[in-house]
């Protein structure tokens, strides 16, 4: 049995004795046993219940909602009742994200304008102040104002570098090549928030440049990824490329995932391709999971893993496994990813070694 102080120390996460006493008062935690000296005493079951409360709070649930969820779960003696409530909470959070995304799009439409588009700067500033004070969504900006602001866009090409300077977070503490990779990832997907979720291991850039300079092999997970690689620069650098699941009929992440699991030959082939190669994974999360497991078990060491598979449960899990390994990696937390983004990372790493116009010089005379 634990005292209230021991209980809070066991659970951690900022829980205090005062919070525990409050949970007793509102019925979220059952009344505890008492010692002969009238001290509260807690069991392992109390620890687990408080851990569930903390976890649900961190997901955004209110205390009254948590109490109802735990009551329903106890009545049903299982977790079946939790799934619909999680789905409801997810839809609520998703609607909040949509509203925030609408506001972000409105701000991007104003802040991302280069000097050539700022002929109506006073109107734009006034609208920015409105958004700041009232947290309005994109619908709050009238169609007439957008038409007025957009009038100058047909007069010149878009200045992407200037827009990125206005929109990206402060990246001054990051290496120049890393900033270049992040900027091109944002340009490839149009989502500025991606920069906050991109993760580079400490040695990723150096490992990539050393391996590409040495003429390593680049392994894509499926043909759709390999076909997007910068084959011109790879040829110039003396690098080769190959595909793990070399099946031209695979079109998307779902097919890649199923094919990898149904045909053991691909899993065996994976082990033989690990050591010294750069991996570019843009579709199948199980390829990244299997790769991480093989590295942990057999101690093969790839030159670099660009891990950007697509998925809603396996992909985030695979990326977390990747970030726990002591190998060079570049990834993006969560569900964000895809073959194009994975290929863009390799493009920029190769471009850091051979920039224009020299990237095509080996073609001269052919």
pLDDT digits (tens, 9 = 90+) for 98-129: 778 777 777 777 677 766 665 555 555 666 56
Cα–chain center distance at 100:
18
Query: Which of these ranges, 26-35, 241-250, 282-291, 313-322, has the smallest mean pLDDT?
Result: 26-35
Alpha helices of 112-168 — where are they, by DSSP H?
A: 121-134, 143-150, 160-167
Q: What domains are there in the chain, each with its CATH number?
A: 4-80 (1.10.1660.10), 87-156 (no CATH), 176-363 (3.40.50.10230)
- State the chain's mean pLDDT as an integer: 84
Beta bridge partners of 279: 219, 305
Distance, CA of 352 to CA of 347 (rounded, Å): 9
φ/ψ (deg, to 5) at 279:
-105, 135
Distance, CA of 47 to CA of 168 (rounded, Å): 43
State the DSSP H helix or E strand holding residue 15, giving kind and residue range, or none if neither.
none
Distance, CA of 72 to CA of 62 (rounded, Å): 15
pLDDT recorded at residue 135: 47
Distance, CA of 300 to CA of 290 (rounded, Å): 13
pLDDT digits (tens, 9 = 90+) for 291-308: 999 999 877 899 999 999
Decide: 119 and 151 in contact? Cβ < 8 Å: yes
């Amino acid at each position: 049995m634990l005292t209230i102080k021991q209980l809070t120390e066991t659970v951690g996460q900022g829980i205090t004795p005062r919070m525990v006493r409050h949970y007793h008062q509102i019925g979220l935690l059952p009344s505890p046993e008492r010692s002969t000296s009238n001290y509260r005493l807690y069991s392992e079951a109390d620890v687990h219940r408080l851990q569930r409360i903390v976890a649900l709070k961190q997901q955004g649930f209110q205390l009254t909602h948590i109490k109802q969820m735990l009551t329903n779960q106890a009545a049903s003696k299982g977790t079946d009742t939790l799934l619909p409530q999680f789905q409801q909470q997810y839809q609520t959070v998703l609607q909040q994200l949509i509203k925030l995304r609408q506001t972000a799009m409105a701000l991007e439409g104003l802040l991302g304008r280069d000097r050539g588009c700022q002929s109506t700067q006073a109107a734009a500033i006034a609208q920015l102040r409105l958004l700041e004070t009232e947290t309005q969504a994109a619908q709050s900006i009238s169609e007439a104002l957008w038409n007025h602001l957009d009038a100058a866009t047909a007069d010149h090409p878009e200045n992407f570098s200037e827009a990125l300077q206005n929109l990206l977070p402060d990246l001054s503490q990051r290496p120049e090549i890393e900033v270049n990779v992040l900027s091109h990832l944002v340009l490839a997907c149009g989502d500025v928030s991606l920069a906050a979720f991109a993760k580079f291991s400490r040695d990723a850039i150096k490992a990539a440049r050393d391996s590409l300079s040495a003429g390593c092999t680049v392994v894509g997970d499926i043909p759709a990824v390999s076909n997007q690689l910068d084959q011109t620069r790879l040829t110039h650098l003396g690098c080769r490329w190959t595909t793990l699941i070399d099946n031209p009929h695979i079109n998307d992440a779902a097919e890649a995932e199923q094919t990898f699991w149904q045909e053991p030959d691909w899993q065996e082939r994976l082990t033989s391709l690990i050591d010294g190669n750069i991996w570019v994974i843009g579709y199948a999360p199980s390829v990244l999971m299997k790769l991480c497991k093989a590295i942990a078990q057999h101690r093969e060491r790839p030159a670099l893993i660009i891990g950007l598979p697509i998925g809603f449960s396996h992909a985030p899990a695979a990326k977390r496994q990747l970030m726990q390994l002591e190998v060079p990696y570049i990834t993006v937390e969560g569900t964000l990813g895809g073959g194009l983004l994975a290929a863009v990372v390799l493009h920029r790493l190769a471009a850091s070694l051979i920039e224009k116009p020299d990237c095509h010089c080996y073609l001269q005379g052919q």
